[in-house]
Amino acid sequence: MISHEAYSCEGWCLRETDLDLDVLAQSESLFALSNGHIGWRGNLDEGAPYELPGSYLNGVYELRPLPYAEAGYGYPESGQTMISVANGKLIRLLVDDEPFDVRYGQLHSHERVLDFRAGVLSRSALWSSPAGRTVRVSSTRLVSLAQRSIAAVEYQVEAVDGPVRLVIQSELVVNEPLPPGSDDPRAAAVLESPLRSEMHANDGARAELVHRTEQSGLLVAAAMDHVVDGPDSTHVLAESFDDLGRVSMTVALEPGERLRFVKFVSYGWSAVRSRQELRDQVDAAITGALQGGWEGLLAEQRSYLDDFWARADVQVEGDAEIQQAVRFALFHVLQAGARAERRAIPAKGLTGTGYGGHAFWDTETFVLPVLTYTVPAAAAYALDWRHSTLQPALDRAAQLGMKGAAFPWRTITGAECSSYWPAGTAAFHVGADIADAVVRYLNATGDTDFEQKIGLELLAQTARFWRSLGHHDAQGRFNIDGVTGPDEYSAVADNNVYTNLMAQHNLRSAAAVAKRNPDRARELGIDGEEMAAWCDAARDMRIPYDDELGIHPQAEAFTAHREWDFEGTVPAEYPLLLHFPYFDLYRKQVVKQADLVLAMHLRGEAFSAEQKAANFRYYERLTVRDSSLSACTQAVMAAEVGQLGLAYDYLAEAALMDLENLEHNTRDGVHIASLAGTWIALVAGLGGMRELDGSLSFAPRLPEGVTRLCFRVLFRGRCLQVETTEASTSYSLLEGDALQIFHFGDPVTATTTATSCPTPPPRLLPGESKRPTQPAGREPTLRSGRRRTSARKETP
């Protein structure tokens, strides 16, 4: 998209200067607004044309059966799919009885701007109807970060070249027709008309709808109200029907006259509250929004984002596209989690229905690191949601014959939403990923209340699962057999290194936190014997190593498999999952996404520098990156082993995943984990940030073309700023008491006065100066020479 001629490169917004319907599907995702509770896709105000209409409420889903040719014990029997709720974005305009439709008449100009600082989507259009009447239309759309249940639109129409008669229909529409389903397994199932009307009402300029899902039994309510500013002759009429609320405005305008109105929309849903209670809730939310008005919403939104950017902004000098991309990424990651508040953060956020609206391990491993160091309260809410789903995880473990908690591969409510699939069902590492996120949050915040109420129980129940899943062999080694690691092209393997190292960290952390909180540990039934068993398993954890090759196999016997025929695979056959049977993938050396390489990032202390370099080179030639989760991790480890040019290339791939539609499925929603990976590639990759045992360390180095990198992180109540150039790095605190950190292993005390440290030259191990190779046709695009180095001048 950003290489499209209609898209400019600007540091603080995404601007589209012309409307190209061929990329409408992607733009609907890119221009989506959300607060983690409400999600509005970036559809045109008038509704048509569209590719995928979407208005979502986090946690609202419908059940669907998961059929099997042959049933099996423990197979999940029903799944959950996120559904679209009442569309409150719709504003239909008729000019002298002709509908405003960009496909007809003449569209003289059209611009949309997603403003990362103001948190709004603005649109302006100059259009002449087929009969020759010209109007100027503008709108500003907002999903409030301050008022969780509120979204709003300011809409204006101006007569330009003659008198016009306008009819505007502002609508709430339920059960909109959806496009047909896709053969792509990453797309969501299409559920037709999933909502049944419970009541509708209208009064003045307000309309309300309440619906119930047929199978999941959720009540969903939406209300809208309007403040109209126009000529005295303006007439307003409200109507409501089962699946439609409509407020119509009619007016005659002379040239230069305008009709302006603000549409306030509120949403609510519940599995337990009554219809009247839910109706009262959305009415109250509307009343509260009306009190502050449109200007109040704008001011609250700007204030919220000013605070966010003050502690989260990342500045990149030398590459304007990456600068724009990282702010785009941070804005969408914030939108996905800001007000989710004990709900999941789906893989696509609330920007589309890709993956059915499910949350995966992506949340804990990629998204929560960003939130932990920028908006820690949002990270805490996400982990609180996992804690709220503990009972189904306990039930699932018991069904599998295990102790503790087995968290699902994909879910909305905590129940497993994936039908049996070896690459998902056996991916038990999700429990250790959750534990890792808990430990990271505790180390970054020192939140003892969270540790006692939520953290310890999550750590303990996941540790219990590993202790029961694994076993000691005759040599005294602790083995974890029959699991799937992050790489979905390898399934049901023994001693996956990533899984074992993450489980080891889980076990040790559970014992340490239990020891710190003896009273709470007793409440959870944790005694000294159990803690000792966790520590024994961690100490004896088997980590396979191939002495002949001098590398760690991804899992036991992985390096004995035949390598995939990369030379015989043509570009059109990627991603492999769409063109080859999993059976063939499972028995070959081919890696969908970083697995062993991810282990080196998250558990780097378990590997020597020599092992990291050798492992990275070996797995580069096997990794095809058929997952958007891979590039950011490869960027981090490329930077650590000294391959800065390659790190830069992978950084750009993660950053431009949606802006360039690299996976060809941005139409289904943006890739929240890859967007988070942009921050990870910059901060953990080029910035070299690591956290171990409650201490932060940095080893920043910049590739050729990036002249300055500056980022901020929150840690232990401090806001630390790291600013690096090729020659040196300065550390300073924007707030908080002195903090000891490490710069290339040397201790540094960060204070409010900047401390500058020289950057040592990169040291490549013998034989590592040559750039690693990738599978034929899967090399990352070279960033050098393709970047934009200057941005369009912006208005402050």
Catalytic residues: 488
Residues with Cβ within 8 Å of 157's Cβ and at least 6 positions away in sequence, in order, are: 93, 135, 136, 137, 166, 168, 253, 258, 259
Output DSSP code: residue 572. Answer: G
Q: What is the rounded distance in angstroms from the CA atom of residue 324 to the CA atom of residue 719?
A: 23
Quick check: helix, strand or coil at residue 80? strand
Q: What is the rounded distance in angstroms from the CA atom of residue 286 to the CA atom of residue 147?
A: 10
Q: What is the rounded distance in angstroms from the CA atom of residue 642 to the CA atom of residue 609?
A: 11
**Quick one: how far is CA 623 from the chain centroid?**
23
Largest Cα–Cα separation, the chain: 90
Whole-number CA gyration radius for the chain: 27
Q: What is the rounded distance in angstroms from the CA atom of residue 271 to the CA atom of residue 300?
A: 30
Residues with Cβ within 8 Å of 376's Cβ and at least 6 positions away in sequence, in order, are: 441, 444, 445, 447, 714
Nearest Cα residue to 551 out of 587, 504, 583, 589: 589
Cβ pair 110, 124 in contact under 8 A? yes
Cβ pair 171, 245 in contact under 8 A? yes
What backbone torsions phi and psi does residue 137 show, to the nearest 5 degrees?
-115, 135
Q: Write down the residue that tokens 């699962």 correspond to.
A: 465
Residues with Cβ within 8 Å of 150's Cβ and at least 6 positions away in sequence, in order, are: 38, 143, 144, 264, 265, 266, 285, 286, 288, 289, 297
Q: What is the rounded distance in angstroms from the CA atom of residue 234 to the CA atom of residue 253?
A: 10
In the structure encoding, which two tokens stand for residue 229, read together? 């500013």
Q: What is the rounded distance in angstroms from the CA atom of residue 592 to the CA atom of residue 628?
A: 10
Helix then strand then coil, % of the chain, to nearest 5: 35, 25, 40
Cβ pair 17, 7 in contact under 8 A? yes
Nearest Cα residue to 411 out of 685, 61, 776: 61
The sign of the torsion formed by the CA atoms of 59, 65, 66, 71 equals positive
Q: What is the rounded distance in angstroms from the CA atom of residue 740 to the CA atom of residue 731?
A: 11
In the structure encoding, which two tokens stand for residue 733, read together? 């605190």
Nearest Cα residue to 38 out of 264, 211, 361: 264
Cβ pair 514, 456 in contact under 8 A? yes
> Helices (DSSP H) in 338-367: which residue ranges?
362
> Helices (DSSP H) in 313-417: which residue ranges?
320-337, 362, 368-374, 376-388, 390-399
